[in-house]
Amino acid sequence: MKAFVFPGQGAQFPGMGKSLYESNPEAKALFEKANEILGFRITDIMFDGTEEELKQTKVTQPAIFLHSVVLAKTTPDFAPDMVAGHSLGEFSALVANGTLAFEDGLKLVYQRALAMQEACEINPSTMAAILGLADEKVEEICAEFTDEIVVPANYNCPGQLVISGSNKGIEIACEKMKAAGAKRALPLPVGGAFHSPLMEPAREKLQKAIEATHFSNPICPVYQNVSTTAVSDVAEIKKNLIAQLTAPVKWTQSVQNMVKDGAIQFVECGPGKVLQGLVKKIHSEAEVSGL
């Protein structure tokens, strides 16, 4: 069985999507439609912008979504047996499996990006990658915090867990993780504490937008970050998508469940190769490739 997986924030790079735009008329039409919907030429930033310009959450998220979805929509015989996306990538996955229309997916991603940027301004906060420490130990250290917010945010692969929380909390947590034997505890260059309770203001805004959007029955199941299992029920997809902003991304567990359900090939659909690397670390026998 073939699984298509879609990357999240961090996969962007200057020039992303340019060759696709120039070589494929269908891709060009979708990119131009996106410029129209967003009200600014995001393609100019994607194709010719600097790394700094691309790094703004309100640009990054729609840019990665666009690159991923346009790739899926212009791939001949695109027929996934299952899909999954890492954080923001879940929206790309839901367009790819027919749950969301392209236009609705893009509008939701842009609203999500703006709401997250606003939440970051309300609560200055950050994230850090903890390498070489068992998930259970990371969870245990996070649970010790009472005055500061520190939570597990991204279960990327065994031995790589990203934590999220207040600036002070993350600083103290990094020291504790190193003292407990972590190989590295790296603060990440992100705008805020994604997938933590500090994203609650963004979750509330996004909930209204999601509830007002039409969701269709998917052509194949999506393995969502919150549930980690195959989901095809529209009401459940919505519920998990709303919960996602303040809940951890359980990528390790999602890939393990996809393998258990028969996935042999994993195709990364979008910029970069991050997910291909993570899938290999989770299940070394998986066949991985990119579009």
Q: Which of 68, 87, 125, 196 is catalytic?
A: 87
pLDDT at 57 over 90: no
Region for 39 from its dihedrals, namely left if φ exceeds 0, alpha if ψ lies in -120 to 50, beta otherwise: left
Q: What is the DSSP string of 128-156?
A: EEEESS-HHHHHHHHHT-SSS-EEEEEEE
Question: Is 87 part of the annotated catalytic residue set?
Answer: yes
Q: Which pLDDT tens digit goes with each residue over 224-235? A: 999 999 999 999
Average pLDDT over residues 240-266: 97
Of 102, 116, 103, 98, residue with least CA distance to 8: 116
Instruction: Check whether 189 has a pLDDT greater than 80.
Output: no
Task: Please pick, among 67, 68, 92, 195, the residue that the annotation labels catalytic.
Answer: 195
Sign of CA dihedral 205, 207, 212, 218: positive
- The H helix count followed by the E strand count for the chain is 13, 10
Question: pLDDT, tens digit, for every residue of 150-185?
Answer: 999 999 999 999 999 999 999 999 999 999 999 999
- Indicate the average pLDDT of the chain: 95
